[in-house]
Amino acid sequence: MIYWHIFSAFFIANILGYGGGPATIPLVQREVVNRYGWMNTEEFGEVLALGNALPGPIATKMAGYIGFEQAGLLGAVVALFATVAPSLMIMIAFLQILHRFKDSPKVQRMSLWIRPTIAILLGWMAYDFFYSAYTDIGWVHTLVLLIMSFYLLERKKVHPAFVIVGALGYGAVFLGG
Amino acid sequence: MKHWHLFLAFFRVGILGYGGGPSSIPLVQKEAVGRYRWLNDEEFGDILALGNTLPGPIATKMAGYIGYRVAGVFGAVTATFATVLPTVCLMVVLLTVFTSFKDLTWVAGATKGVTPVVGVMLAMLAFDFFNKARTGGLGLRNTVILLLASFVALTVLRVHPGALIAGLLLLAIVQPDKEK
């Protein structure tokens, strides 16, 4: 029964959560805190805070941990499966169809026409990240990190891994206070 | 070997993606398009667009589909697990062993340092897509028109991104093919 509850909680949260992992967090909270009462709001907040401090997608970290706490290893597996599998299957089915007809002018036009929209969506996300950095660490640190990372990534073609590790180091030293 | 590469690529994406799924998008692009050439930019754009119209976390949808393209169902499993598992394990261990981790100020500071870097990577990717639209057949004028229309639709009219992309895809299908 607990496995069924875990499955349905994370299935519902993620199938309704448009806009990637962060958009599903309030839905996860509604299932986990309000419907099933597995934790209170404060505990949920702590799990979320730790999740945000660690790398990787947030929705799956929450699902894995909450599933594990409720029903051990199998609980974690069930929660992760419910989070990831349904939308992934739809995605694979759609893209296989698209791939089969990829030489059709209609399909080529589909890819082309959505590009400016993707550019806007990515630009918007970029702005979100800049804005939250600005409110969080102020404009001086934001600008320093922005200019340094742009220079390294775009001009010097440094691999993002090194730039991210460098930014983590910068943050640990200058932004910890 | 394919599976090992898939694992490596998405392990790096998972472990370097601070700030949730969206921050891993530029990293997925770097691995799948730049390093291993499993896809070209156009295919990556299609996956990203469709991923945005479908519900659920974006990082695992992209990992799962790219894994599937490269090595079938087991490829999808490998890529998804590599994205998810290392950080979930870390999370479970840290939360069960000691809960004071998140209060360590240098950990919080380190994570904050990454935010502007992710912003830069996303902005560079956005510019890439703008350029690809312009040189790919739309031309500067039509690209700018679509760009402004998308911006107005998303911000002023508050159209859902999924609905906007679905609408554009539908228009592209309905539009009759030009005779050449």
The residue ranges of every structural domain in chain A are 1-101, 105-175
By C-alpha distance, the chain A residue nearest B150 is: A117
The answer on pLDDT for A169 being more than 50 is yes
Q: What are phi and psi of A149, to 5 degrees?
A: -70, -35
Q: What is the pLDDT of residues A17-67, one digit of tens each?
A: 666 666 678 788 889 998 999 988 888 888 887 787 788 788 888 999 999
Task: Give the span between the Cα atoms of A149 and A166, in whole angstroms.
Answer: 9
For residues A159 and B98, the model is more confident at: A159
Whole-prediction pTM value?
0.77
Joined together, the tokens standing for residue A121 give 């969506």
Q: What is the pLDDT of residues B121-178, one digit of tens each?
A: 888 888 888 888 888 888 899 999 999 999 999 888 888 777 888 888 888 888 876 6
Q: What is the pLDDT of residue B99?
A: 61
Q: What is the pLDDT of residues B63-96, one digit of tens each?
A: 999 999 999 999 999 999 899 888 888 888 877 7
The answer on pLDDT for A163 being more than 70 is yes
User: Do B111 and A171 make contact, defined as CB atoms within 8 angstroms?
Assistant: yes
Average pLDDT, stretch A107-114?
Answer: 82
By C-alpha distance, the chain A residue nearest B128 is: A119
With CA atoms as reference, report the closest residue to B159 among A86, A128, A18: A18
The answer on pLDDT for A151 being more than 90 is yes
With CA atoms as reference, report the closest residue to B28 among B13, B45, B6: B13
Q: What is the pLDDT of residue A19?
A: 60
To the nearest 10°, the Cα dihedral for B163, B178, B145, A99?
40
CB pairs under 8 A between A and B: 352
Q: What are phi and psi of A21, to 5 degrees?
A: -50, -55
CA distance A1 to chain B (A): 23
Joined together, the tokens standing for residue B49 give 């667009």
Interface test with B, best of A117, A124, A139 (most B CBs within 10 A): A117
Say what percent of chain A tops pLDDT 90: 27
Residues 112-131 of chain A with CB under 8 A from chain B are 112-130
Average pLDDT, stretch B24-41?
Answer: 90
Task: Give the span between the Cα atoms of B180 and B173, in whole angstroms.
Answer: 18
Task: Give the span between the Cα atoms of A83 and B56, in whole angstroms.
Answer: 7
Please tell me if residue A48 touches chain B, with a CB cutoff of 8 Å: no
The answer on pLDDT for B100 being more than 70 is no
Interface test with B, best of A11, A28, A60, A124 (most B CBs within 10 A): A60
Average pLDDT, stretch A104-111?
Answer: 81
CA distance A109 to chain B (A): 6
User: Do A171 and B112 make contact, defined as CB atoms within 8 angstroms?
Assistant: yes
- In this prediction, residue B180 has a pLDDT band, given cuts at 50, 70 and 90, of very low
Q: What is the pLDDT of residue B19?
A: 67
Average pLDDT, stretch B27-40?
Answer: 91
Q: Give me the residue label for tokens 């894994």.
A: B67
Residue of A110, A145, A172 lying closest to B109 (CB–CB): A172
- Angle of helix A115-150 relative to helix B41-53, nearest 10 degrees, comes to 110
Q: What is the pLDDT of residue A29?
A: 87
- Angle of helix B41-53 relative to helix B161-174, nearest 10 degrees, comes to 120
SS (H, E, C) A86-146: HHHHHHHHHHHHHHHCCCCHHHHHHHHHCHHHHHHHHHHHHHHHHHHHHHHHHHHHHHHHH
The reply to whether ipTM tops 0.85 is no
Q: What is the pLDDT of residue B179?
A: 47
With CA atoms as reference, report the closest residue to B126 among B61, B39, B118: B118
Q: What is the pLDDT of residue B145?
A: 92
Residue of A20, A159, A175 lying closest to B58 (CB–CB): A20
- Angle at CA A88, nearest 5°, toward A84 and A56? 45
The answer on pLDDT for A136 being more than 90 is no
CA distance A30 to chain B (A): 16
Q: What is the pLDDT of residue B4?
A: 92
Average pLDDT, stretch A137-154?
Answer: 92
